[in-house]
Structure 1
Amino acid sequence: MSPLNVFKQPLAFFSNQPVTGYYRDGYCRTGAADYGNHAVAGVVTEEFLDYSASQGNDLRIAGLREGCKWCLCTSRWLEALGAFRDGKISRNGVPKVHLEATEDSALRRVDLETFREFAARAETNGVNGHTGVNGVNGH
């Protein structure tokens, strides 16, 4: 069965610069061996990278920097969301999410409305091609 995104549509390709995904194929798809559930298609910021490193997960060693697209563990994304809600980091510290490239397995831990709050751009079931704030489309 082909992986589905949070809209129950075919999972969109996310990134090959850097090559991301549990299977290093550019898709945020998971499988039985992926205990971290690398399903969230996120765009990292310096604040997120700093926070993640402070929590023992330094993604810079994988070559990540501000603006990189990376398939994040659902629990790590939730950790950043919790830190934002607790006032430990700013909203910018929570990676923006590309919904069409986020596997539906992430919905076991995060509801769609929460993901929509942090969407990288307006995405509605693959129909909407609108750009986000100030015309930036997350690329």
Structure 2
Amino acid sequence: MPKPTNIYEEKNALGGPLEPCSLDPLTGFYRTGSCQVTAENKGVHAVCIYATKEFLEYSKKAGNDISTPMPQYNFPGVKPGESWCLSGPRFVQAVKDGMAPHIFIHSTHQAILELIDLETLKKCAIDLD
């Protein structure tokens, strides 16, 4: 795998350190457990979501099946209760459709702020004090 080209600082949407999203399943564009965004990450896999059955069903119907395992890509499929780095455009689509998932904002990369506002992210966050 090529070395990532960092064009963004490793900061979360609140400006703090980017925290890991999930190590089991191993998530992120580079499968590092982090929603890091680089020049190679064209899908901006920046949003650390908490997957629910409802969201996974919605996502599949919307054309982004993240729940079906794909062993050929070493992808186990996301299950309810797991965290996953979702692409920014898919998150924006879910917000527009009224199906926004809960997110971990401390694990969501600041690059998402180029696609959606901080207040919307905060409304979806389940890890704010």
User: Where does residue 66 of structure 1 map in the other structure?
Assistant: 80
1:121 maps onto 2:127 in alignment: yes
Cα distance in 1 for residues equivalent to 2:120 and 2:112? 11
Write out aligned runs for 1:1-139 (5 A): 2-61=9-68, 62=75, 63-84=77-98, 93-122=99-128, 130=129
- 5+ long unaligned stretches in structure 2: 1-5, 69-74
Cα distance in 2 for residues equivalent to 1:11 and 1:42? 14
SS in 1 for 2:45: coil
- 5+ long unaligned stretches in structure 1: 85-92, 123-129, 131-139
Q: Which has the higher helix share?
A: 1
Cα distance in 2 for residues equivalent to 1:120 and 1:36? 23
Per the TM alignment, residue 65 of structure 1 is displaced from its structure 2 partner at its CA by 1.4
Sequence identity of aligned pairs in percent? 35
Q: TM-score, normalised by structure 1?
A: 0.77
Which amino acid in 1 is paired with 2:52?
A: T
Q: TM-score, normalised by structure 2?
A: 0.83
Aligned length: 115
Q: Work out whether residues 106 and 127 of structure 2, in 8 Å CA contact, stay in contact via their aligned partners in 1.
A: no
SS in 2 for 1:59: coil
Runs of at least 4 residues off by over 3 Å:
none
Cα distance in 1 for residues equivalent to 2:42 and 2:100? 21
Cα distance in 2 for residues equivalent to 1:50 and 1:14? 21
